[in-house]
Chains A and B, each alone.
Chain A
Amino acid sequence: MELTGEVVINAARTRVWIALNDPAVLTACIPGCEAVEQVGPLEKTARMLVKVGPVRAKFSGRILMSDVVESERCAMTFEGSGGAAGMARGRSQVELSDEGESTRLHYTVQASVAGKLGLVGGRMIDGAAKQMADQFFNAFQLHLAPAQPDADKLPTESKAPKSAQVQPLVTHSRSEDMTVAGATVTRQPTSKLTDDMEWLRVKWFAMGVLATAIGVWLGAQL
């Protein structure tokens, strides 16, 4: 399965990058997502309930980021397991560029499904992936675009404790970055270095989650 898409998000590039790397934002925007957690500097885990047609499968997945260029691009490899239903794995690339005041987000996803999902899900994988991607970006757009940064604070902050609790599992250097990333969404970044780091992470998070979501969705489509 291959999916390529482009969306223009009505927000500045740095804001998009930060949001894409914020587990709280991702959890809220990915359809059926129960949790996104940072387990390492470049590694996230995600849990989601995939509902496609008659399928109700709980998936848990891992996302690894690479080639991270803050606020610009990153690559992600992901692997998701739906227990008896099968598994999905793949790779995704995301690039951000300025589009006037807005941000153009270009993504490509290559994914494959295995197990029963592969047996029965192959037929509608592309449709399912596209559907999930559309749902994600609609929610993401809604999260970023209509609201002022101040307005974003409340929902983001309410979810922030989740990611903060996850951080102790991470090494110290990582958890610092994580903390910064979590804080950045609610407050405007103060230093470019931390901003970049945060953005990279955000992008990776978002991409990974998106990729996992797409893989899972694809797999779930019978």
Chain B
Amino acid sequence: MKSAAFDYVKPAAMAELFELLQSHGDDARILAGGQTLLATLNMRLSEPKLVIDITGLQELRGIHQVGDRLFIGALTTHTEIENSALVSQHAPMLTMAAPHIAHRAIRNSGTWGGSIAYGDPAAEWPCCLCAMDGHVHLQSPNGSRKISATDFFIDLYTTALAPDEVVVGADVPLASQADWFAFDELARRHGDYAVAGLAVAASFTGKVAQRVNLAFLGIGTIPWRARRTEALLVGKTLDLATVEIAVASLKAELDPLPDLTHSPETKRHLATVLARRLLSAAHANRSAIAV
């Protein structure tokens, strides 16, 4: 199937983009990598009058270190993040998560900013951002603002993005020696939407956890930070007993939404499988370093 007819504009400057957004409002859609939008158009689930191709805006590209944070521009593709030496050094969780995003051809096209603006509950980048306490950078004709990722994602496909705003990028804190990251997800086939996924951003002193951020994807309508369980783990060594306490806590804390093939119980179980795996891996890693 082919999309309905639409007008196509490729602005060369941010000002032009804002002008188009202002004059066309909800009739215009922003095209970045097209990972989701093009499929939606071709299935005629959406018929915008105007598609604004922002791939000509160079200021939305690039990965750079700004102070103690790593900024990734909105138009950076999944593949660019996957292959970036800067990312693997300063934000290794993103390097681990990238291969889980769909397939190579899609990763070559889909973008960091597109995934964030779309806010799919099973998407990897929003989940990683919430786990790492990342910030989303937004720009409108009235100026720029930064918002914490956990405040940016509000509800199913609903973000704090205003109608006249665009996502220009997002930043995450630089990883230090004390930090430990992991990302894993369970899908029916590789590249499918994950049934459940978990991003862990932890920091340790020796073998003792100082902070263990747990963000689940595919569980709720937005990335799910398991804050009660996180609080339980602070100041603990993640030995077997502690991990089992965390799993029991997660079973009580997580209230997953079902999909057509997975019940809430299945998803809750899979989430705890991931938690057990990743927390045990964290402990093994820190024990090896501490010895």
Contacts and interface: CB of A to CB of B under 8 A. Distances in A.
A130 B43 contact: no
Given A55-B45, A116-B43, A127 B120 contact: no
B8 interface: no
Interface of B: 1, 26, 29, 36-37, 39-40, 43-48, 118-122, 155-158, 193, 220-221, 257-261
B17 to A, nearest CB: 18
Interface size class of A (residues with CB under 8 A): 20 to 34
Contact of B45 (A124, A125, A220): A220
A120 B155 CA distance: 19
Given A54-B29, A127-B221, A131-B156, A122 B43 contact: no
A123 interface: yes
Choose among B47, B118, B157, B259 the residue with the greatest number of A CB atoms under 10 Å from its CB: B157
Interface of A: 1, 52-57, 83-85, 116-117, 120, 122-128, 130-131, 220-222
Choose among B39, B40, B193 the residue with the greatest number of A CB atoms under 10 Å from its CB: B40
A220 to B, nearest CB: 7
A125 B157 contact: no
B156 A221 contact: yes
B40 A124 contact: no
B124 to A, nearest CB: 15
9 contacts: A53-B156, A54-B36, A54-B45, A55-B45, A120-B39, A123-B193, A125-B259, A126-B259, A222-B40
Contacts of B220: 127
A127 B258 CA distance: 8
A2 to B, nearest CB: 9
Contact of B258 (A85, A126, A222): A126
B44 A123 contact: no
Given A54-B29, A124-B221, A131-B155, 14 more contacts: A52-B157, A53-B119, A53-B157, A54-B36, A54-B37, A54-B118, A56-B26, A56-B45, A84-B44, A85-B44, A116-B45, A124-B121, A127-B221, A131-B158
Contacts of A85: 43-45
Nearest to B158: A131
A55 to B, nearest CB: 5
A178 B44 CA distance: 37
Contacts of A1: 260
Nearest to A115: B43
A202 to B, nearest CB: 29
Contacts of A125: 259-260
B156 A124 contact: yes
Nearest to A49: B26
